[in-house]
Structure 1
Amino acid sequence: MEKIQKDINPSMRAILIDWLVEVAEEYRLVPDTLYLTVNYIDRYLSRNAMNRKQLQLLGVASIMIASKYEEICAPQVEEFCYITDNTYFKEEVLQMESTVLNFLKFEMTTPTIKCFLRRFVRAAQGIDEVPSLQLECLTNYTAELSLLEYSMLSYTPSLITTSSIFLAKFMLFPSTKPWNSTLQHYTQYQTSDLCACEKDLHHLCCNSPNSNLPTIKEKYNQHKYKYMAKKYCPSSIPQEFFHN
């Protein structure tokens, strides 16, 4: 994005995604819709220069496309206009939808973090006494935090997912090594592979209470997510946990 965009920076991208998390919660969209939305936005921004006034329009069009792809009953275009306080007309949203779809060449399927989360969390839950729902909610929380940070795009979705599970297990049981042969088998990652991504994700999680983008934290401060945003994150991870 930094090579293409002159009027949009990572902070603007983060604000947009924070707002889209709120939209997804408001309309009770499935998690896959949110992750696909962010994927479409990033793919579009990586090749098309945009004015900052169009950024929210891109976000609305992307979440509408992802909703049509993932949801049983996707919100209507009028509803997406409404959530922008009618900043954009229906015709503008539909035109942007067409532009994004044509740019993506209708390649809507992509392996997002959420795809890997389903399989990897099941593997993590089946091997020890980790409370299943707590682990799932905490892993989802740390994974969603990664969506806000532009620099996390340097890591593959599978690596971010694996690092999220590692961090969630560490936060739940700080004195126990989070990784083992079963997780290595299912994820195909050794702990040494996680080091850089894990440190960046850990930094995001430690700093989330001070973030000026509160939506994800507020979302995971609800009972249905077991108040996982309130879970204490130790200030450092023992280096020996990264030894294979």
Structure 2
Amino acid sequence: MPVARSSKAQSSKQPQVSKAPSVTENVPQEKEEGCQAKRSPSSPQGGPKKRSAFGDLTNAHKNQTLTGKKEGVKAPTRKATRAPPAPIVAKNNEINLKKSLRRPPPTDVPVEPEKDSVSEEPVQVLVVEDIDKEQLGDPYANAEYAKEIFDYMREREEKFLLPDYMENQPDISRDMRAILVDWMVEVQENFELNHETLYLAVKLVDHYLVEVVSMRDKLQLIGSTAVLIASKFEERCPPCVDDFLYICDDAYKREELIAMEMSILRTLNFDINIPIPYRFLRRFAKCARASMETLTLARFLCEMTLQEYDYARERPSKLAASSLLLALTMKNLGGWTPTLEYYSGYCAQDLHPLVKRLNFLLTYQPCDKLKTVRTKYSHRIFFEVAKTTPMDMMKLEEKLKS
């Protein structure tokens, strides 16, 4: 049972209690996805529980426009010019002939493939689907810029690649980081925060520890402050400072939390728009036309990696693509389609090693004590995807090769 909160804390979180419970039956797919972002008050977790962490988001029409331009080009009109004398013409022809013999044959643009490209163009449009076409009229979807936005986020991944910072942290270990992330998942559940908030908060912790050497007694302060910053960036109504002081069991003072917030923002130069796997996962699931159950299974696989330090240095887009490919394989929904390859930038062979590691992680969880993610996705609102039987490694190998 959750510990009774003080009157001050109750007043700050009272509006969340009046929320209607989320219903997943007979709801459209897009609205049902939004229901999973917030947990209902009737969920098994109940209200916020305070404890110490260490105490217990196209260019498909470009081809059509280019071909349209080629068809509309008119032949240049020839102007009537006076013919030069015959000796000059013969001399010019001789010079042009020598130049043509010296010039190497074109290699980049062959002659015959132009016919093939014209004949194959309709087939390519049918295989690679324009996933943003349906939302072109929606002013809130920004479908006209969707592909450019995700291409930009792919470019920003290069800036936020994490090094092996644990070697420079003498008082913090990988297990301590796993305990902290497990607690942050519980905070996200209790405050009914978006999943983007959780992923961004974990990224903030990692990038801050790359630059600053911290002691173990300040690790929970870093984690709670990272959730506070991520909430201000992602949430419409983020929790207040007093809520985070309460959820930490009053282990820190208000001045310490505000000072840590200033330290994290200054250390990261206020550049906190870090690419996260969750955004790429929703984009790739849209390319695959995946159902909510399949998408939730991919979310579970991706969220399992938050606690594991070995996955922190993986590219977010690659981690999201591998999670979706494993979920599709587990559901027998086919492999990596040309549409997924086009929008993700990864072919199936690029993802196979990481897919095998994810299946191994699902089969053999390193720590049995940290079960917050499994408990969260064992609830019926998440289709109980945590209870899905992992694939046999040999069968997975055969399906990936086929």
Which TM bucket (shorter chain)? over 0.9
Query: Are 1:137 and 1:228, in contact at CA under 8 Å, matched by a contact in 2?
Result: yes
Q: CA deviation at 1:53?
A: 0.5
Query: Are 2:225 and 2:257, in contact at CA under 8 Å, matched by a contact in 1?
Result: yes
1:165 aligns with: 324
Q: CA deviation at 1:184?
A: 1.3
Structure 2 residue corresponding to 1:142, chosen from 268, 281, 301? 301
CA distance in 2, matches of 1:55, 1:232: 35
Counterpart amino acid of residue 158 in structure 1: S
CA distance in 1, matches of 2:239, 2:278: 21
1:98 aligns with: 262
TM-score normalised to structure 2 length: 0.57
Counting aligned pairs with the same residue, the percent is 37
CA distance in 2, matches of 1:142, 1:63: 21
Q: Is 1:46 paired with 2:210?
A: yes
1:117 aligns with: 281
Q: Which has the higher helix share?
A: 1
Query: Are 2:277 and 2:302, in contact at CA under 8 Å, matched by a contact in 1?
Result: yes
Q: CA deviation at 1:180?
A: 2.3
Moved more, 10-19 or 189-198: 189-198
Query: Are 2:280 and 2:317, in contact at CA under 8 Å, matched by a contact in 1?
Result: yes
2:396 aligns with: 238
Query: Are 1:191 and 1:243, in contact at CA under 8 Å, matched by a contact in 2?
Result: no
Greater C-alpha radius of gyration:
2
Structure 2 residues not aligned, in runs of 5+: 1-164
Query: Are 1:177 and 1:241, in contact at CA under 8 Å, matched by a contact in 2?
Result: no
Structure 2 residue corresponding to 1:199, chosen from 356, 359, 365? 356
Query: Are 2:181 and 2:306, in contact at CA under 8 Å, matched by a contact in 1?
Result: yes
Q: Is 1:156 paired with 2:315?
A: yes
Q: Is 1:55 paired with 2:213?
A: no
Calculate the aligned-residue CA RMSD, in Å.
1.6
Q: Is 1:19 paired with 2:183?
A: yes
Q: CA deviation at 1:212?
A: 1.9
Counterpart amino acid of residue 307 in structure 2: L
1:218 aligns with: 375
CA distance in 2, matches of 1:61, 1:195: 36
Query: Are 2:211 and 2:267, in contact at CA under 8 Å, matched by a contact in 1?
Result: no
Which whole-Å deviations, capped at 9, do the CAs of 1:58-114 have from their partners, x for residues lacking one? 001100000011111110101101001100111111111110011011101111111
Which whole-Å deviations, capped at 9, do the CAs of 1:130-176 have from their partners, x for residues lacking one? 5x011111011001001111001231000000000011111112xx6
Query: Are 2:329 and 2:399, in contact at CA under 8 Å, matched by a contact in 1?
Result: no
Counterpart amino acid of residue 197 in structure 2: T
Which whole-Å deviations, capped at 9, do the CAs of 1:192-211 have from their partners, x for residues lacking one? 11122212211111124963
Q: SS of the residue aligned with 1:3?
A: helix
Structure 1 residue corresponding to 2:240, chosen from 58, 70, 76? 76
Which whole-Å deviations, capped at 9, do the CAs of 1:182-232 have from their partners, x for residues lacking one? 221221111111122212211111124963210000100111100000011
Cα distance change of structure 1 residues 100 and 26 upon mapping to structure 2, 3 Å threshold: same
Structure 1 residues not aligned, in runs of 5+: none
CA distance in 2, matches of 1:200, 1:9: 22
Moved more, 199-208 or 102-111: 199-208
CA distance in 2, matches of 1:113, 1:102: 24
Q: CA deviation at 1:24?
A: 0.3
Structure 2 residue corresponding to 1:85, chosen from 223, 244, 249? 249
Query: Are 1:5 and 1:49, in contact at CA under 8 Å, matched by a contact in 2?
Result: yes
TM-score normalised to structure 1 length: 0.92
